[in-house]
Amino acid sequence: MNILAPLGAKEEVEMLAESGAEEFYCGITPMEWMEKYSPGVWINRRNPYAGFPSFKDLEEAVRRAEAYDIPLFLTLNAPYYTEAQYPMLIDLIKRCQEEVGIKAFIVSDPGLMAAMKSQVPKAPIHVSSLAAPMNTGSIELYKQMQVERIVLPRSVQLNEIPALKEAAGDIELEVFILNDGCVYEESFCMTTHSAGAFCSQAQWNYVPQHADGNKSLTAAELDTLNEQVDDYREFVWFVNDCNCQIAHDGLPLGPCGLCSLAKLDSMGVDSLKIVGREGAPYRKLASVQMVKAVMEQVRGKAAEEEVEKLARKIRNQPQYCESGLMCYYR
């Protein structure tokens, strides 16, 4: 299993490569795109400023990564693209593949996948989790489209992966391992983070009602539902990176699958995604280091229980691990 790290700038390459990153991904929004559509229309899932500022910088990042023999993948995983946007997208893919040296494109829109297959057939496709490939039907579909890798959504649990792996055959599977959860299914969240995450609980009052009719809630029901809201707020807090906090020991908090690494390895998962292209360099560094430390044990063939124990020790947040709400894999 490779450690896939997010990149926000060329200067981050050496730091992350030296710390254990084995693959990189990033985004770029060409200036002509922003001029035409405004920064409000995102070319990938993150805002334009979370990506590289120029092709020159992107090329330099690829060169630096190549020095470590690390491939760089590019995200083109906006939920959808319109007809008018395709020429610019195809030009971008051609340029990135032929001139810049991007090794694969992370795509969620089946229309763009079809366009790539007909117009840039040599450009490898990684199916983004935004395409919601969560069953064997999806795996079969993307297999037929000859993709190279499929990123499983965060909601796919450990017990589901073996069947998906079997269906995938030679196609690589990537899973989420650290940071930035999603309360809803990423593919089916039709909101924009430009207004802050829709799921962020601090902005909402949750007012319970009966679904059926206009019955009044009993006092006991109201108590139960208010308690449920409190628990929900806590769950969302974990999913939203514990309010983007850093722990006392300097490690970033947030959704985590570290203690499942041995299981994921035995299931034949190929890549471990660390989320957070737009995060601070320090957060990326600490995240890569945490995954690397546990992966060393996995590669050393440590028993599953040992790996789990080490993961919890490194995480150093026993109360959060015990809560179960910070775990990708429950």
Smallest gap from Cβ 47 to other proteins, in A, equals 13
3 state SS of 9: coil
Residues in 299-318 at the binding interface with other proteins, rule: CB under 8 A: none
- For other proteins, the binding residue among 69, 121, 122, 213 (CB under 8 A) is 213
- For other proteins, the binding residue among 121, 169, 195, 220 (CB under 8 A) is 195
- For other proteins, the binding residue among 12, 22, 23, 109 (CB under 8 A) is 109
Q: From CA 329, how far away is CA 157, in angstroms rounded?
A: 6
- For other proteins, the binding residue among 69, 121, 169, 190 (CB under 8 A) is 190
Q: From CA 58, how far away is CA 28, in angstroms rounded?
A: 8
Smallest gap from Cβ 17 to other proteins, in A, equals 34
190 HSE (CA, 13 A, CB side): 0
Smallest gap from Cβ 204 to other proteins, in A, equals 5
Inter-CA distances, 118 with 86, 88, 265, 310, Å: 12, 15, 35, 47
36 HSE (CA, 13 A, CB side): 10
49 binds other proteins (CB under 8 A): no
Give the chain's length.
330
212 binds other proteins (CB under 8 A): yes
CB 23, CB 170: distance < 8 Å: no
Structure tokens at 253: 């908090």
Smallest gap from Cβ 265 to other proteins, in A, equals 21
How crowded is residue 228: how many other Cβ atoms within 10 Å of its Cβ? 12
Provide the mask over 112-151, with x wherever binding to other proteins is found by CB under 8 A and - wherever it is not: xxxx--x------------xxxxxxxxxxx--x-------
Nearer to other proteins, 211 or 248 (CB): 211
Q: Which stretch binds other proteins (CB under 8 A): 92-100, 152-160, 262-270, 294-302?
A: 152-160
Tell which phi-psi region holds residue 307, choosing left (phi > 0), alpha (psi between -120 and 50) or beta. alpha
87 binds other proteins (CB under 8 A): no
Burial profile 289-300: b = 16 or more Cβ within 10 angstroms, e = fewer:
ebbbebbebbee
Nearer to other proteins, 5 or 236 (CB): 236
Structure tokens at 135: 């069953």
Residues in 252-291 at the binding interface with other proteins, rule: CB under 8 A: none
CB 126, CB 149: distance < 8 Å: yes
Structure tokens at 190: 């039709």
293 binds other proteins (CB under 8 A): no
- For other proteins, the binding residue among 57, 88, 95, 235 (CB under 8 A) is 235
Nearer to other proteins, 10 or 154 (CB): 154
189 binds other proteins (CB under 8 A): yes
